[in-house]
Amino acid sequence: MLLGSNLFQPPKGFLGFALVECGAARSTGCASRLIEDERCRVQALQQCDHERFCLPPWAHLRVLENAIVKAVEAGAEGLTSSGSCARLASGRGQECLRLLTSYAQQHLQDGEWRRILRLAIVKGDEGPICAILQVCPKLLLQSRSAGMGWFGDSKATRKAKSLRQDLRGKHFIVTGANTGLGYVTARELAKMGAKVTLACRSAERGQQAIDKMKAEALEKPVKEGVDLLDGLTEVDVRLEVLDLGSLQSVVAFAQRFKASGTKVDVLVNNAGIFGVPNRRETADGLEMQIGVNHFGGHLLTRLMEPSMNDGGRVLFLSSLAHSRPPGMPKTTWDWDNVNFDKPKTYDRLSAYCRSKLANIWDAKEFAKRLAARSINTYAVQPGLVKTEIHRGIGGGKLMMPIVNAGYVALGWVWLKGPLDGALTTVRCAVDPSLAGPELSGKYWGNMKEETPSELALDPANPPRLWEVTESVLEEKLGKRVDDVVP
C-alpha cells in the first residue's frame, strides 16, 4: 500500500498532501473510487477510507470534498510526462517543487513519487504548485512544536492580562479597526480606559464594530483579553471614516483632527490589504497593496504629526512576509518599479511582501525624524493570523476552492487567533518599558524584539524609501507633504 496511516501524518502538509494523495490514489488502483472519465465525483471523499488518506479527524468533509475534487481535476489537466515536471516547476514553483520532492522522497520510491508528482503539478497563472504551497510550503512540512514565528507562540494569550494598565486620559487611533487585528487591538485598549478612534473605510461596518465592542467589554466574565478597567461602565470609542486607498481621504482625516484640536498619543497603522489577484490601482493610480499598506499609512503618519503628543508612539503593522516565507525566494526591491508599472512584473505576493518591507523601513526612518519629540516607532509582525485580510489569497478558478479550504483547515491547528496576533501590537502601544529611544524603529513579533530580514536591516534603504515616497506623494497631491495640512 502506497500511503499507510504512518505517512504524511496531519497536520504536516495536510492540504498539500491531500492533493498529492489524490494523485497517489489514482496511480495505485483507487481511481475507480475517485475518478470516472477523468472527473471526480462530488461524493468521492465520503466513499474513501479516511485512515488511508490520512485526513485529520477535525476536517470538515464538505469543504474537503470540493477541494479534493478540484485538486484531482487540476491534476488531470496538468498531467504530463515525468521529463516535463521539472520544467513546469519554474520560478516560485521550482522552490516549492524542491521542498515537496525532498520530503516525499524520504517516504516514497522514485517511481511512486514521479506518478504522484504528475498529478500534483498544476498549470495555471498561479504557478505549478497550488497557491497554499506557494505561500508556505516548508511550514506545512514542519511540526507545530518547532515554534516557528509564522504560527507564533500558543502561550501568548496567557500574557494578555499582564499588559493591563490604566490608560484613561490617553487617545489612540487604530486604522482598519472594524475587523480582525485592528478590532481586537482597539477593543483591548478601550477596555483599559483609553479613548480609541476607530479609523475605518466603511462607516456602516465601523459602527457595527463599535456596537459589538461595547457589548463585549461589558461581558462578565470576558470571553477573551483583559477585563474592563475597574470603575468603568463602558468603553470610550468613536468612529472616523478613513480610506487609505484615497490620499484625499487621508488628508481630510488629518484636517478634521487638526481643526478639532484633538491630541493623539498613539497611532496604530494597522489597516492593510493582501493578495489582490490582478494589478489594481488606488484612486490615485498607485498599485493597490503598496498604495494602501505603505503610501496611505506614510501620509497619515506625516499629517498626524502635529496632532500627536510628545512622547507618543507610532506603530506600523508589518509581516513575516516581508522576507517571504521560509523556503521561498527572498523578497527583492526594484527601485525603478516600486509601483509595479512595468508590464508583466506584477505578482500579488511580491507586491504584498514589498509593502510589508516598506513598513519596516518606514518605522526606522520615522524613528530618526521623530526622535526630537521622543515619539517612538515600532514595526510589528503579528504572525499568521485567522483574519479577513487573507480573503484575497484566492487563486485561479481551479485553485480558489483548494486554497480557501486549505486556509480554513490550517486555521484549526496552525494559525493564531486575532487576540494572539494583536498582543504584540498592544504591548508596543502601551508597555512603559518600551519607551526608551534605543527601542524606537525596532521590529517586534511574539511580544518581543525580533530580527527582520537582511534586506530590511540595510541602513541605506529607509532614507531612500523616504525620498521616493515623499516624491510620489508630492506628485499625486500637487504639493509637498509638509504643505498639505497648513
pTM > 0.85: no
Contact 388, 180 (CB under 8 A): yes
Each residue's pLDDT tens digit, 401-425: 444 444 444 444 446 678 888 999 9
% pLDDT > 70, the chain: 59
% pLDDT > 90, the chain: 47
Between 11 and 119, the more confident residue is 119
* Residue 437 pLDDT: 94
Q: Which residues contact 385 (CB under 8 A, 6 or more apart)?
A: 180, 181, 415, 416, 417, 418, 420, 421
* Pair type for strands 39-40 and 171-175: unpaired
Of the pLDDT bands very low, low, confident and very high (cuts 50, 70, 90), residue 328 is low
What is the 3-state secondary structure of the chain? Answer: CCCCCCCCCCCCCHHHHHHHHHHHHHHCCCHHHHEECCEECCCHHHHCCCCCCCCCCCCCHHHHHHHHHHHHHHHHHCCCCHHHHHHHCCCHHHHHHHHHHHHHCCCCCHHHHHHHHHHHCCCCCCCCCCHHHHHCCCHHHCCHHHCCCCCCCCCHHHHHHHHCCCCCCCEEEEECCCCHHHHHHHHHHHHCCCEEEEEECCHHHHHHHHHHHHHHHCCCCCCCCCCCCCCCCCCEEEEEECCCCCHHHHHHHHHHHHHHCCCEEEEEECCCCCCCCCCCECCCCCEHHHHHHHHHHHHHHHHHHHHEEEEEEEEEECCHHHHCCCCCCCCCCCCCCCCCCCCCCCCHHHHHHHHHHHHHHHHHHHHHHCHHHCCEEEEEECCCECCHHHHHCCCCCCHHHHHHHHHHHHHHHCCECHHHHHHHHHHHHHCHHHCCHHHCCEEEECCEEECCCHHHHCCCHHHHHHHHHHHHHHHHHCCCHHHCCC
Does the domain at 156-389+416-478 match CATH 3.40.50.720? Answer given as yes
Cα 141 from chain centre: 20
* Pair type for strands 35-36 and 39-40: antiparallel
Nearest to 234 by CA among 168, 177, 161: 168
Say how far apart CA 201 and CA 208 lie, in whole Å.
13
User: Grid coordinates representing 289?
Assistant: 497593496
CA distances from residue 427 to 49, 66, 98, 423 in whole angstroms, order as listed: 47, 41, 39, 6
* Residue 470 pLDDT: 98
Say how far apart CA 373 and CA 385 lie, in whole Å.
34
Q: Using alpha carbons only, how large is the chain's radius of gyration in Å? A: 24
Nearest to 365 by CA among 465, 436, 272: 465
Between 133 and 312, the more confident residue is 312
Q: Is the pLDDT of residue 202 over 70?
A: yes
Each residue's pLDDT tens digit, 28-49: 322 223 333 223 333 333 333 3
Say how far apart CA 250 and CA 467 lie, in whole Å.
20
**Hey, where are the domains in the chain?**
14-142, 156-389+416-478
Say how far apart CA 197 and CA 300 lie, in whole Å.
14
Q: Is the pLDDT of residue 339 over 50?
A: yes
| For range 206-231, the mean pLDDT | 90
Task: Please identify every residue annotated as catalytic.
Answer: 352
* Residue 329 pLDDT: 59
Residue located via cell numbers 466574565: 221
Q: Is the pLDDT of residue 276 over 50?
A: yes
Each residue's pLDDT tens digit, 144-156: 333 333 334 345 4
Contact 172, 189 (CB under 8 A): yes
Q: Which residues contact 246 (CB under 8 A, 6 or more apart)?
A: 282, 283, 284
